[in-house]
Amino acid sequence: MNKKMMRVILEIIRYTVIVFGAFWMVLPFFWLFSASLMTPQELMSDIPKWLPEKPQWNNYLQVLKRVPIFTYYKNSLVVAGSVTFLVLFTSSMAGYAFAKLRFCGRRILFNFVLSTMMFPVFIFLIPVYYLMKLFGWLNSYLALIVPFAVSGYGIFLMRQFVMTIPDELLDCARLDGAKEFKIYSVIILPLLKPALATLAILTFIGQWNSFLWPLIVTSTAQRFMTLPVGISRLSLAFSTAETQHLIITALVYQVVPMVIMFLYLQRYYVKGFVLSGFSNL
Amino acid sequence: MTNKKIFSRHRSFERNMGAGYLFLAPALIFYSLFFVYPVLFSFTVSTKRWNMLIPLSRARNVGFSEYAYLLKDEMFLGVFKNTLLYAIITVSFTIIIALVLAVLINNAKFSVLWRFIYFAPVVTPQVAIGTIWGYLYRPSNGLLNSILGLFGFKPVYWLTDPNIALFSIMATAVWAGTGGSMLIITAGLKNIPQDYYDAARIDGAGPFKQFLHITVPLLSPTLLFLTATGFIGAWQVFDLPFTMGRNAPAKSVMTVSWYVYETAFQSLRMGRASAGAFLLFCVIFAFTLFILWIFKRGGIKGYE
């Protein structure tokens, strides 16, 4: 009896914690949506409001008129899409080489790739900016895309996955006279599909949300700004009390599509970790 | 026959040799241009007084004086302290909370729904998260203080009090990071055989003992992964402090990335910014190796 009581109490604690946490997770999103429908006066009122008196759906139209949201969307899509494509290409090639081909310095090069992951971005800001300036790429898509074309994490992930493909399969193809590039494109790539999907999603999310680098290289050209840069500038552009509601409504435009899209893809987020081999006991 | 086999194997090895470099070519070209060159370039810049407007060759050589300056600069030391504090606190809190939640949610009812809810901030741009929390943290008309008011607390100056601002930002970072870590820990949990728990229960171990003696030790590779990637991410944090800390008193919330951004691209002191980046990188690198070493001593292997 005592033990049963204990169990019931533990279960109550468990669900209390889960629901309490979930409340805090949802609260900012709930507030964002609710506030996006408020008037500036409601937003700035001394007693914070949970819900608008009368939903101001007009806010959403007003923002579209005053902020080039669709340009930002387009830029973010072009940049995140191109980077993802390039990363998939370079990572799968390098991953295949590291996993299945033998050549001098393979170990050293692979360790080098792993160690690049430990270098923080802030080391590269000045020199890569300078390179972009030399190439004349500032304020263009190239500056946003090319410096991210190769990912150490991507190469590592692909290598881990290619290692699980049996050598016999490749040897058979080699005996049939297939060249390495054919093996890569006909055998490896199709087998890599699940791993590529994972890497694609991780890269895309990362690029879509990336802020510091786009902020630096597009500081003077609004037509190349990505969504995070464009939206972050609104706090300066709309700093007066009468325009606060526009910032919040613009945030909804930024947040909602991605959250809806990627919530369905959360399993890929986990897969990246599973593929990395850390989950094996 | 044997000879022939050896011969053919030798040939395929030879052929692979060139193919290996060919497949690596895009990555190698990229790394020499965007990794090796920048690191060397950065180091050179850190010994010069340069504003990027004149050619580097015409910049004045100042040796290691920027390094010496930074080590005595209160601003820089503050930035260093903030980043260290930020990384240690957010990484450890995120992992501990995520671990507890993952275990609680693992066999709970509606577990899919809970994971869904907790995961949402992971895919939300950090800039948006920072801005939203900036509003929630407003002192007089923010939601947080109004909730506190319900319980009779005085309003807190979340983002403007220099003693609190950094911790408010950390709280947001933990809020944003927990869901992702939780999902990964859940994947690790699914790998622990149920038998272990059954055996422990027969031996009379309660839920807390099971958690401490089965779950945590068997999850250590997962925890290593989260700690290492967590620190690597936290050292370079920029988005949250930059979007939330604009109204905080100077240097109370500034982090390294922000400092480099400010010094290089606002004040055009490329040398000082590079020197600062290098100094902090050395500390970070040593710290990351130290963490890997601790885990290794505990018998945990990383990759391979």
Domain end residue (candidates: A61, A77, A112): A61
Same domain (yes/no): A50, A82: no
> In angstroms, what separates the C-alpha of B256 from chain A's closest C-alpha?
8
Same domain (yes/no): A164, A40: no
Provide the pLDDT for residue B302.
Answer: 46
C-alpha to C-alpha distance for B180 and A63, rounded to whole angstroms: 31
The residue written with tokens 């923010």 in the block is B142
Percentage of residues of chain A with pLDDT beyond 90: 48
The enclosing domain of A253 has a CATH number of 1.10.3720.10
Provide the pLDDT for residue B45.
Answer: 93
Could you tell me which residue, A233 or A90, shows the higher pLDDT? A90
Same domain (yes/no): A89, A146: yes
Residue B15's pLDDT band (boundaries 50, 70, 90)?
low
Which letter, b or e, does each residue of B121-148 get, where b requires 16 or more Cβ atoms within 10 Å of its Cβ? bbbbbbbbbbbbbbbbbbeebbbbbbee
Same domain (yes/no): A231, A145: yes
Number of domains into which chain A is organized: 2
Mean pLDDT of A106-129: 92
Residue B5's pLDDT band (boundaries 50, 70, 90)?
very low
Q: Which of B20, B33, B222 sits opposite A97 (nearest CB)?
A: B20
Mean pLDDT of A3-21: 90
Domain end residue (candidates: A61, A96, A112): A61
Domain end residue (candidates: A61, A84, A112): A61
C-alpha to C-alpha distance for B264 and A137, rounded to whole angstroms: 19
Q: What angle do CA B220, B225, B228 make, to 5 degrees?
A: 115
Percentage of residues of chain B with pLDDT beyond 70: 92
Same domain (yes/no): A18, A85: no
Residue A239's pLDDT band (boundaries 50, 70, 90)?
confident
CB-based contacts of B293, cutoff 8 Å, min separation 6 = none
Is the pLDDT reported for residue A6 higher than 80? yes
> In angstroms, what separates the C-alpha of B87 from chain A's closest C-alpha?
13
C-alpha to C-alpha distance for B237 and B254, rounded to whole angstroms: 10
Domain presence at residue A224: yes
Same domain (yes/no): A179, A232: yes
Domain presence at residue A281: no
Same domain (yes/no): A22, A75: no
Domain presence at residue A126: yes
Which domain range does residue A202 map to? 67-275
The domains located in chain B, with CATH, are: 2-45 (no CATH), 65-297 (1.10.3720.10)
Could you tell me which residue, B295 or A132, shows the higher pLDDT? A132
Is the Cβ of A170 closer than 8 Å to some Cβ of chain B? no
Same domain (yes/no): A123, A20: no
Testing the interface with B: which of A10, A126, A202 to mutate, by most B Cβ within 10 A?
A: A126
Domain presence at residue A263: yes
Could you tell me which residue, B177 or A42, shows the higher pLDDT? B177
> In angstroms, what separates the C-alpha of B30 from chain A's closest C-alpha?
7
A:57-86 residues touching chain B, CB 8 A cutoff: none
Domain presence at residue A238: yes
Same domain (yes/no): A96, A148: yes
Is the pLDDT reported for residue A280 higher than 70? no
Is the pLDDT reported for residue B300 higher than 70? no
Sign of CA dihedral A243, A245, A248, A253: negative
Is the pLDDT reported for residue A281 higher than 50? no
Domain presence at residue A177: yes
Same domain (yes/no): A72, A24: no
Mean pLDDT (chain A, rounded): 89
Same domain (yes/no): A100, A45: no
Is the pLDDT reported for residue A262 higher than 90? no
Same domain (yes/no): A49, A74: no
Domain presence at residue A280: no
Domain presence at residue A35: yes
